[in-house]
Structure 1
């Protein structure tokens, strides 16, 4: 129960902060509880590794767009509903599968393998940090006149491509490539610029030849399709709804802005790739990152980019057009992870990934189905579908009686319930492994001198990095909702217009001296400066603890894990409440109040449930290949059986009208003449959908 409760708490908070960072927090909490409740001393000694790799694993799936898929299940269009439930199963499978893989890796892999994996992972983190620093600057340099941003105008960025995180995969490969060069001490490193230059020259020559032979335009047309339906007719006017030239296409925006540079740029990338294929060693587990990042890019190219050329009339091989296609990349990450685990004698991790993925898939699709069942009583849509007229007394009476029920925060119910099921997935999966994986030799792995630095890195990652990347978003929320005279300032632009910007706050005392008008920071900068001081403090404390253990830190790994869990839990619960407090409404009780009560219960359970001395009966499993085949069978069977049940029961209860009378404005449909990709495409001169 504690594992499910932990992931439920984390998932509820993740819904407020969103995306990869929020999911990493949820996965981190669950991974800690699994280690503590396992009854295995060897796993408890790895609690920081469980937290570190569990957080990373759960973070990946959060890049997948799913709100439109949820809407498909509510659309009333049978084919779109089937697709929606199937899509939710698939998203849940990928999400929980990678979360299970990350958590299981800490449980299964040898200590030395885990320690060696830290350095390449940190190189990837550094590459992502570098990406975050330069991405907007590069995009602005390429196209400064379009006024793009990271929200409603993000598709105007020259780096935009299917609203997907492809740059993250590229920079992950960049980071692991730099690591490989460093680890090989640049053996054959001088050949890298040679390969890069040769690739760029060859790419330039190929494009030049295509231009001279008049083949470039034909090849470009063959490999390009519009992200929309030029034949779509506006029902209100009876005329074509969109200008075909206003559609986006299946290639990065800069391909169209700077077509003359496509050849040598692609050649440069291929040249660098050829170098690492020929000379790269990718030792110390760094090849796992290569498998995952390469899998992301290959699957992305195979499905929405190139595979969709053959299905353009159906919206392409895209899960949620016109939204993000990160699902394809994460599919590649999952496949790459499974292949690497199988090839590196870590088949139990692959088994865990599929097992947890299956439960997660059933959880996402099943909880959405359950939510719709609970929303059925007094549902105005059902009343209308049954023939009640909205103007009738009976309709108004029933709708009024159930109005408060209908207006509850049902999405929060979905988030927290699905999080609980994901926690069950991790508990079941790691419970399965706990009785089948032999005990690791703890005599050599209790705080080893070699690699002990990884414990410090993991502690900083869990206690500072995860809270920071989430809670820093609070500052923007406070700036929007609190006193504008304190949090904002009005600036005059060069063209005479006014711009609202974050306020600047003076440094106490020094910032108020006569003639001193430069000692000030924005609220965001004050927050980051404070967190920097926390980081310095943490580094000093950890160094001191490694030299001589601090009295405040428990000696047992069970106690250390409990402290780790409680600090992370309550920092995030309080930070989440601070975020919600500035815009409080009674509907938030289902989120913040329930999260707080669950956190109180989780605190009691994490302190009372595990015992210092526990025994686990282990029957070493020698036939994980059998389990691997079996879990794949159950994964497919679960989807084949569950999805039709969800679809049929939903349609029996809601009694949807014919397609022509469906509400296609409130809900999305994936198929049909009014499918969202046809009726609501992303356009160059409009806001992003």
Structure 2
């Protein structure tokens, strides 16, 4: 097995560009946030490493690397982590070690799914790689219409429950709210997969679906009625329910104990709004599930998504919902109470993905996932520690506390604080984001580097299902750009000239609120008698993007028939063009977002991103060579490497977390470090105790 340092995947250019590309993306991701931002960031590094690997088969698949890399890196974006960073700054012994472990755990899941997506593109044969687009498009189709589905059910249920919910600060009043988690994405993914399976099989067995559904609903209704008749319903419900807060804790805002009735619990909000309907609704769901257990086939690798979606739901139910009952004195088995518990769902996605790939002859994907995961975990925990070390000089919290303790005079403390004030005022969170992104890029480099020399080259593959290449490009260049850049509209509307971007509207109750302005259609928008030819800024943006998408689809259709000359003829050239399009679309969109509120403090983010993007541009055009040739020594059995990765990773985690925690305690002691919220996971001042989410207050 070659370990030659001159192998393309281990050259300095590969390592540096792979890491720097993700650092650029991750710095921008911090401005856009969540799954979409993380996905866009991850695909940059995956494209770079694919091109620099020297493997001709990977370069032919570069658009698949981009799409699956983006999808994989997107999963971790749903996990709440800012509170965990704050734990490492807290100065509280138990909370700090929990914080470093929590960041390692989150970083592991994030990078594990990201490198798994890239690994799937690297390892799967062409047939499997392309057939999976069919169920994937069904999932996307359901997700496309989900906002309207969600609004319909929310409005209907909220009206019946007399609740006033929204998608932001009153979202916990929605009947569909459940521990602030994105469980609906897993459920709707299963809905898409169910529709795909019914379409794919076109079997007469489909007539049994309503039978199973009705039988399940009837069984659930009878079960609940039986509990009611026996007088056991209340006790049964109480045994499975715990409050998301401490009813004995004192509310710092009122000086009184929290009301137990005002606390949320570990079940969906509609359970409390419509308790008499729980039995038949759950029975209906399990009846449908049972039908697909008996008759479902989930071909075209759709079973991968079934494993992942079911893993999300099962893990969520097991950890925060049920096992949380055993840890009520600690706020439940929750990572960041009172924040979202999506971590448990992503843990289930990782487990489901690992089981499926291991069982389906894709053990190299599982290996890449674990290797990348441990590097990502070390990166998140380690960069948070590095940030703490960087902000120690002149830290006002340290020196003010020392002065209060009598260890230092007030004048001496103030002199030190003043001397370091400029240093302390830097954008340290951006430093963390970009540095952590750099380490995540190293995770991609190492994970794919291990596969580059161990997985056989895919030779003489027939170009089956060429439409999937267009679909993958559409995901990366149209879908991923839209879902991110559309967020800029909120920034522009709120920060640019309100006379041009905003208007006041009067509500039915007489109140007024601010809404987006209406911009007329040029020339004809205000002709005599014309009062309706206008759109909001977001409406114009959506219309424009629809035209871009339509043109893109048409051009892809033409290109698949006859190559459009402007597009490169070589896989390497196509990959370089793809990288540059993703990179600079992302960089310019971020600049547009930052411009309305730009000041000198943003240079560490926006200027650094521009400079690094220039470096990435030069490197991606110069470093990959058509003559690159990797040395491949195919490995038949990956199980030993997989076990070794777990052992080395766990030992490394134990050592590194111990070092991060110990050095932080040695530098800060019990002092709060600042540069984050002062939050604790344990003790009387734990965040979940003193700031729970209350039914009659805005969400946090």
The TM tier, using the shorter chain, reads: over 0.9
Aligned counterpart for 1:53 among listed residues 56, 68, 83 = 68
Residue 587 of structure 1: aligned partner? 601
Q: Work out whether residues 664 and 674 of structure 1, in 8 Å CA contact, stay in contact via their aligned partners in 2.
A: no
Residue 430 in structure 1 maps to residue 448 in structure 2: yes
Cα offset for 1:494? 1.9
3-state SS of 2:515 partner: strand
Residue 227 of structure 2: aligned partner? 210
Deviations 1:527-565 (A, max 9, x none): 000000001111111111111111100000000000011
Residue 414 of structure 1: aligned partner? 432
Residues in 1 aligned to 2:557 and 2:248: alpha-carbon distance in whole angstroms: 66
3-state SS of 2:354 partner: helix
Q: Work out whether residues 403 and 413 of structure 2, in 8 Å CA contact, stay in contact via their aligned partners in 1.
A: no
Q: How many residues align?
A: 681
Cα offset for 1:510? 1.3
Residues in 1 aligned to 2:335 and 2:508: alpha-carbon distance in whole angstroms: 44
Aligned counterpart for 2:195 among listed residues 157, 178, 183 = 178
Matches within 5 A, 1:203-242: 203-233=220-250, 240-242=256-258
Aligned counterpart for 1:97 among listed residues 94, 100, 112 = 112
Stretches of structure 2 that go unaligned for 5 or more consecutive residues are 1-15
Q: Work out whether residues 231 and 240 of structure 1, in 8 Å CA contact, stay in contact via their aligned partners in 2.
A: no
Residues in 2 aligned to 1:77 and 1:478: alpha-carbon distance in whole angstroms: 40
Residue 31 in structure 1 maps to residue 41 in structure 2: no
Residues in 1 aligned to 2:352 and 2:163: alpha-carbon distance in whole angstroms: 37
Bigger mean CA offset, 39-48 vs 506-515: 506-515
Cα offset for 1:440? 0.4
Cα offset for 1:136? 2.4
Deviations 1:285-317 (A, max 9, x none): 100000000000000000000111111111110
Residues in 2 aligned to 1:614 and 1:468: alpha-carbon distance in whole angstroms: 35
3-state SS of 1:162 partner: coil
Q: Work out whether residues 152 and 687 of structure 1, in 8 Å CA contact, stay in contact via their aligned partners in 2.
A: yes
Cα offset for 1:233? 3.4
Aligned counterpart for 1:156 among listed residues 152, 169, 173 = 173
Cα offset for 1:235? 7.0
3-state SS of 1:386 partner: helix
3-state SS of 2:563 partner: coil
Matches within 5 A, 1:9-408: 9-144=24-159, 145-233=162-250, 240-387=256-403, 392-408=410-426
Residues in 2 aligned to 1:353 and 1:541: alpha-carbon distance in whole angstroms: 35
Cα offset for 1:324? 0.3
TM-score, normalising length: structure 1: 0.97
Stretches of structure 1 that go unaligned for 5 or more consecutive residues are none
3-state SS of 2:318 partner: helix
Q: Work out whether residues 385 and 656 of structure 1, in 8 Å CA contact, stay in contact via their aligned partners in 2.
A: no
What RMSD over aligned residues (CA atoms) do the two structures have, in Å?
1.6
Residues in 2 aligned to 1:537 and 1:475: alpha-carbon distance in whole angstroms: 23
Cα offset for 1:381? 1.4
Aligned counterpart for 2:544 among listed residues 526, 530, 545 = 530
Cα offset for 1:240? 4.3
Bigger mean CA offset, 495-504 vs 462-471: 495-504
Aligned counterpart for 1:487 among listed residues 491, 494, 501 = 501
Cα offset for 1:236? 8.9
3-state SS of 2:206 partner: coil
Cα offset for 1:120? 0.6
Residues in 2 aligned to 1:142 and 1:43: alpha-carbon distance in whole angstroms: 49
Residue 512 in structure 1 maps to residue 526 in structure 2: yes
Residues in 1 aligned to 2:508 and 2:638: alpha-carbon distance in whole angstroms: 68
Bigger mean CA offset, 324-333 vs 387-396: 387-396
3-state SS of 2:513 partner: strand
Cα offset for 1:385? 3.9
Cα offset for 1:74? 0.6
Residues in 2 aligned to 1:248 and 1:312: alpha-carbon distance in whole angstroms: 13
Cα offset for 1:665? 10
